Structure 1
Amino acid sequence: MNLPAWRSQLHDPSFRQGAADMLGAGLGVGAWGLVTGVAMVKGGMSTPLALLMSLTVYAGSAQLAVLPLMVAGAPLWVIWLTATCVNLRFVIFSSMWRSYFAHLPRRQRLALGFFSGDVIFVAFMKRFPRPEPRPEQLPYFWGAATTNWLAWQVPSIAGIILANTIPLSWGLGFAGVLALLGIMLSMLGDRASWLATAVACTAAVAAFALPLKLNILVAIAAAVTAGLAMEAGERALRRARARAAGSDT
Structure 2
Amino acid sequence: MRSHGFSISLMDRRLWCHPERQQGTRAMLHALPGVMAWGAVTGMVMAQSGLPLWGVVLMSLTVFAASAQLAAIPLMLVGAPLWVVWLAALCVNLRFVIFSAQLRPFVMVLPLRWRLFCGYLVADVSYVMQLARYPNGAEVHERELGPLAHLLGLSLPNWLGWNVAALLGIAFAGQLPAAWGLAFAGTLTLAGLLASLVRDGRAATAAVLAGCTAVACWDLPFRLNMVIAVAVGVASGLALEAGARGRTEGRVT
1:18 aligns with 2:24: yes
Counterpart residue number, 2:126? 120
Between the aligned partners of 1:228 and 1:7, the Cα distance in structure 2 is 35
Between the aligned partners of 1:95 and 1:245, the Cα distance in structure 2 is 32
Counterpart contact for 1:85–1:220, Cα < 8 Å: no
Counterpart residue number, 2:4? none
1:152 aligns with 2:162: yes
1:18, CA displacement in angstroms?
Answer: 1.1
Runs of 4+ in 1 over 6 A off after TM superposition: none
Number of aligned residues: 235
Change (3 A) 1:225 1:118: closer
Aligned to 1:187, the other structure's residue is in SS state helix
1:51 aligns with 2:51: no
Counterpart residue number, 1:183? 190
Letter in 2 for 1:203: C
2:214 aligned residue (200, 223, 240): 200
2:171 aligned residue (137, 161, 165): 161
Bigger drift between 11-20 and 229-238 goes to 229-238
Letter in 1 for 2:29: L
Change (3 A) 1:156 1:6: farther
1:81 aligns with 2:87: yes
Counterpart contact for 1:14–1:137, Cα < 8 Å: yes
User: Whose helix proportion is higher, 1 or 2?
Assistant: 1
**TM-score normalised to the size of structure 2?**
0.78
1:227, CA displacement in angstroms?
Answer: 3.0
Q: Which runs of 5+ in 2 are unaligned?
A: 1-7
Counterpart residue number, 1:137? 147
Between the aligned partners of 1:14 and 1:62, the Cα distance in structure 2 is 31
Letter in 2 for 1:162: F
Between the aligned partners of 1:184 and 1:63, the Cα distance in structure 2 is 22
Change (3 A) 1:203 1:59: same
Letter in 2 for 1:175: L
Between the aligned partners of 1:71 and 1:184, the Cα distance in structure 2 is 32
**TM-score normalised to the size of structure 1?**
0.79
Change (3 A) 1:225 1:7: closer
Between the aligned partners of 1:176 and 1:26, the Cα distance in structure 2 is 13
Letter in 2 for 1:199: T
Identity among equivalent pairs (%): 38
Change (3 A) 1:143 1:76: same
Change (3 A) 1:216 1:117: closer
1:101, CA displacement in angstroms?
Answer: 1.9
Change (3 A) 1:18 1:180: same
Letter in 2 for 1:202: A
1:170, CA displacement in angstroms?
Answer: 3.1
Give the aligned CA root-mean-square deviation in angstroms. Answer: 2.9
Change (3 A) 1:47 1:8: farther
